[in-house]
A = this chain, B = another copy of it.
Amino acid sequence: MNKTRFEAFSDGVLAIIITIMILEIKVPHGEEFSDLKPLIPKFLSYVLSFIYVGIYWNNHHYLVHGVSKVNGKILWANLHLLFWLSLIPVATGWMGEHNFAKASMTLYGIVLLFSSIAYFILQRIIIVNEGDGSVLAKAIGTDFKGKLSTFLYLVGIVCSFYNEWISGGCYFVVALLWLIPDKRIEKALSK
C-alpha cells in the first residue's frame, strides 16, 4: 500500500485548508489605512487558525512517519480528520466577521473538539495497527497533552456561552501547548 500518495493527498488538503482561509480576508473597499481596521479580528482569527492547521500538519507528519503500513481503516480515519479540519476556514471566517461573537466561539470550539477527537481516533487505529509494543505506541504513551487539549476545548465551548474572551483564551492556550512539535514521537523515532 502506497504511503506516499496517502501523505501527498493529506498534504494537498492541508495546504489548501491553510491557504483558502486567506480568501475570507476580503480586500477592503476603501483605500485608507482606516479601512483595514475591520480586518483586524479577521487577521487575528486567521493567525490562530493558521497555527492550528500548522500544528495538525506537524503532528500528522510525525504520526504518519511512524506508520509502517496504511490500510482502508487508516485512510478513512484520515479523511474523517481532514473533514473536520476543512470546517476550520468557515468557523474562522464567522469568528473574524463578527469580532469573536459568543456563538462563533462555540462553533469554533466544536470544530476544534471534533478535529481533536478525529485525530485521537486516527492515532488509536494506527497504534492498534502497529501493535502496542511498537515504537510509535511507546512514543505517544498516555497522550496527556491530547487529553488536556480535548478538555480545554470543552471548557472553551462551555465558557463561550458566558464570555467569549475566556473561551478564546482556552483555544489560545491549547495552540501554545502544541506549538512545540510532538517531541515524544520525535525523540523515540530518532533513536
Residues in A lying within 8 Å of B, measured CB to CB = 1-2, 4-9, 11-20, 22-25, 27-28, 31-33, 35-36, 47, 50, 54, 57-58, 61, 65, 71-72, 75-76, 79, 82-83, 86-87, 89-90, 93-94, 97-98, 101-104, 106-107, 179-181, 183, 186, 190
A180 adjacent to B72 (CB under 8 Å) = yes
- Note all chain B residues with C-beta closer than 8 A to A7: 2, 4-5, 8
Chain B nearest CB, measured from A140 CB (Å): 16
Please classify the interface of chain A as helix (H, G, I), strand (E, B), loop, or mixed, using the class held by over half of its residues: helix
- Note all chain B residues with C-beta closer than 8 A to A24: 27
Of B20, B31, B54, B107, the contact of A98 (CB 8 Å cutoff)? B31
Known contacts A6-B61, A13-B15, A20-B23; 15 additional CB pairs below 8 A are A5-B61, A8-B11, A11-B12, A13-B18, A15-B16, A16-B19, A18-B86, A25-B90, A27-B93, A31-B94, A31-B104, A33-B106, A50-B86, A58-B75, A76-B181
